[in-house]
Amino acid sequence: MLGRMLPKLFHRRLVLLSVLCAGAFGVMLLQTARLALLENERHAADAEAWLVRESWSPTVRGQILDRRGRVLATAVPGYSVEIEFPVLSGDWAKDRAERYAKRLYAAEWGPLPAERKATVLARFERVYAEHARASWAQIAALTGATEEEIHDRAERTVARVSAMHARLVEVRETRALAELEEQGRPITDDQRRRIRARAEQPIREQAIGHPVVPRVSDGVAFELIRLAERTTRLEPAGPQGPPDEVPTVPGLSVRDAGDRTYPHEVMPVDIDLRTLPGPLRGEGRATMTVRGVCTHLLGWMRPRVFAEDQAARRAFLEEHPGNGGLLTPTGAD
């Protein structure tokens, strides 16, 4: 029948090409309809997210006065001694050891057996790690803190940041796998590896300094600033090898650590015992110490982290995984 309707081969070819083009356009039309009608909200949100640029600015808080001019809250200037997290965790020593080994062995480094490389790196890493740890004695001497206190605070910082990173990796990986399951796409081993690699990206806390001695005086802070600019020559390979110039105190920095004080947070209150309810009523007057005056207005800084704080943080990260401190290629948080 087609031959009678289209006796010429040219016409039959033209119809075939038209059908193929219509099929291709039909597939594209269906895909466009699916994206525009069924998944438009999700894709619009993803596109709009790229149009928003966020930057974090430090909070500046001024004095808070009552109606009589009394200072209820004020900022007190101060300085904090910080060490970069790679130094605290030992990654700095590993990186310097690898760089020094490649410089020392040059072209011979590549062909070396893996066991030989591991032995060399362990020996060099020990030198850099011992230098970093020994340099904390200078911080202790200037600040009055003990080396044990500095080491203890460093260990607690590493444990805390590592736990934060592990938790965020778990949240990122779980969310990425859930998104693939919602889309109905099969999850292969290669996809799992790529998701794991993206989830293990470092967080901001793994790239910045952390306090090892809080609240030092101006004079001590200026001494430490000068100390942070000094360098020391190490000989990881011994006298026969080339020296390596490193900071005298690796990762040392002095940051503004202004504190917030509340002059009237704790106040003695004079009470007339005759005005109390029956069971508490008595003669004379008594003085009681009231803590937390005006904290319902000024806020309250608790001295340590409680279980409900950790639970609230986990819930927040699950709802807002992008706010967990991920360093983006642009450096934004």
Q: Is residue 235 part of a domain?
A: yes
pLDDT of residue 332: 35
Whether residues 26 and 117 share a domain: the answer is: no
Paired residues of 266 in beta bridges: 291
Of 215, 231, 257, the position where a domain reaches its end is: 257
Q: Is residue 323 part of a domain?
A: no
Alpha-carbon gap, residue 311 to 304, rounded angstroms: 14
pLDDT of residue 1: 57
DSSP characters over 128-145: HHHHHHHHHHHHHHHH--
Whether residues 24 and 85 share a domain: the answer is: no
Alpha-carbon gap, residue 301 to 295, rounded angstroms: 9
Whether residues 36 and 160 share a domain: the answer is: no
Encoded amino acid at 303, one letter: P
Whether residues 29 and 153 share a domain: the answer is: no
pLDDT of residue 333: 37
Say which residues have a Cβ less than 8 Å from residue 146's Cβ, sequence separation at least 6: 140
Domain count, the chain: 2
pLDDT in tens, the chain (333 residues): 556 666 777 777 887 888 889 988 888 888 888 888 888 888 888 888 788 887 878 777 788 888 888 888 888 888 999 999 999 999 999 999 999 999 998 888 888 899 999 999 999 999 999 999 999 999 999 999 999 999 999 999 999 999 999 999 999 999 988 888 888 778 888 888 998 999 999 999 999 999 999 889 889 999 999 999 999 999 998 888 899 999 999 999 999 877 778 888 888 988 888 888 888 788 888 888 888 777 777 766 666 677 787 788 778 777 766 554 443 333 333
* Token pair for 17: 């090409």
Whether residues 136 and 30 share a domain: the answer is: no
Whether residues 27 and 86 share a domain: the answer is: no
Residue 118 lies in domain = 78-257
CB atoms near residue 179 (< 10 Å): 12
pLDDT of residue 224: 95
Whether residues 30 and 85 share a domain: the answer is: no
Whether residues 8 and 89 share a domain: the answer is: no
Q: Is residue 302 part of a domain?
A: no
Q: Is residue 265 part of a domain?
A: no
Whether residues 30 and 129 share a domain: the answer is: no
pLDDT of residue 328: 36
Q: Is residue 285 part of a domain?
A: no
Q: Give CA separation, 221 vs 89, 149, 159, 233, 319, in Å.
A: 24, 18, 27, 24, 40
pLDDT of residue 231: 95
Q: Is residue 71 part of a domain?
A: no
pTM: 0.62
pLDDT of residue 326: 42
Q: Is residue 276 part of a domain?
A: no
pLDDT of residue 325: 45
Whether residues 108 and 173 share a domain: the answer is: yes
Decide: residue 289, CB within 10 A, 0-12 exposed, 13-18 middle, 19+ buried.
exposed
Q: Is residue 192 part of a domain?
A: yes
Whether residues 245 and 148 share a domain: the answer is: yes
Of 11, 32, 49, the position where a domain reaches its end is: 49
